[in-house]
Amino acid sequence: MHLPLTALRNGETGVITATDCTSESKQMCGHKKRKRWIKNAMTERCHRRLNDLGLTPGTKVTVIKSAPFNGPLEVSVRGSLLAIGRGMAGRILVDVTR
């Protein structure tokens, strides 16, 4: 199942399929929320930053929890903890088996 990272439950693990609005996520762009997706297309800079921190396609990522009041996500990736703003986390697509 392909979902944005924000849709994962606490403690759930997924495998990243895309972190940018190319390839697979473009199919998502065809969705009803089309305008929103394109407007939110991740800027190159943030995209690279995610990559550099180890959030590359094929990486396992576990959502630990999210900060209250719709705050950022706390995720565990490659043995370390990262805080990722909710907007950006929504643009990381993961594959998850439920």
Partner 1 sequence: MSNNHFRIALAGNANVGKSVIFNQLTGLHQHIGNWPGKTVEKAEGTLHFKGYTIDFIDLPGIYSLSTFSMEELVSREYIATEKPDLVINVVDASILERNLFFTLQLLELETPLLIALNQIDMAKKKGITIDIKKAEEILGVPVVPTVAISGKGVYQMLETAIEVIEKKQKIEPLKPRYGREIEERIEDLTILLNKIQLKYPTRWVAIKLLEEDSEVEKEVLALSSEIVAAAERMRGELEQLHGHSCPTVVTSERYHVANMISEEIQTIAKPLKTPLSEKLHTVTTHKMFGYPIMLITVLAVFVGIFSFGDFTSALLSDNFFGVKPVFDSVLGTGIVGELVWGGVMEGIIGGVTVALPYILPFYFILYIFEDSGYLSRIAFLMDNLMHKMGLHGKAFIPVMLSFGCNVPGCLGCRIMETTRERLLTAFVVTLVPCAATSVIILGLVGAYVSIGWALALYIINLIIIFVLGRIAFKALPGEPTELIMEMSAYRMPHIKTVAKQTWFRLREFIVMAFPLIITGSLIIKVAEVANLLDPIANIMSPITVTWLGLPTVTGIALIFGILRKELTLIMLATLFGTANFAQVMTPAQMIVFTLVVMLYIPCVATIGALIKEFGGKKALLITVLEILLALLVGGIAYRLLTIM
List residues near partner 1 by CB under 8 A. Answer: 18-20, 22-24, 43, 45-54, 56-59, 65, 67-72, 74, 78-88
Which CB, 11 or 71, lies closer to partner 1? Answer: 71
Which CB, 88 or 96, lies closer to partner 1? Answer: 88
Which CB, 30 or 98, lies closer to partner 1? Answer: 30
Alpha helices in 1-98 (DSSP H): 23-29, 34-39, 44-52, 86-89
Return the residue matching tokens 């909710």: 86
Which CB, 32 or 92, lies closer to partner 1? Answer: 92
Return the residue matching tokens 């089309």: 34
> Minimum CB separation from partner 1 for residue 5, in Å?
12
> Minimum CB separation from partner 1 for residue 93, in Å?
12
Q: How many CB atoms lie within 10 A of CB 5?
A: 24
Please answer whether residues 51 and 34 qualify as being in contact, where contact means their C-beta atoms are separated by less than 8 angstroms: no
> Minimum CB separation from partner 1 for residue 84, in Å?
5
DSSP character at residue 60: E
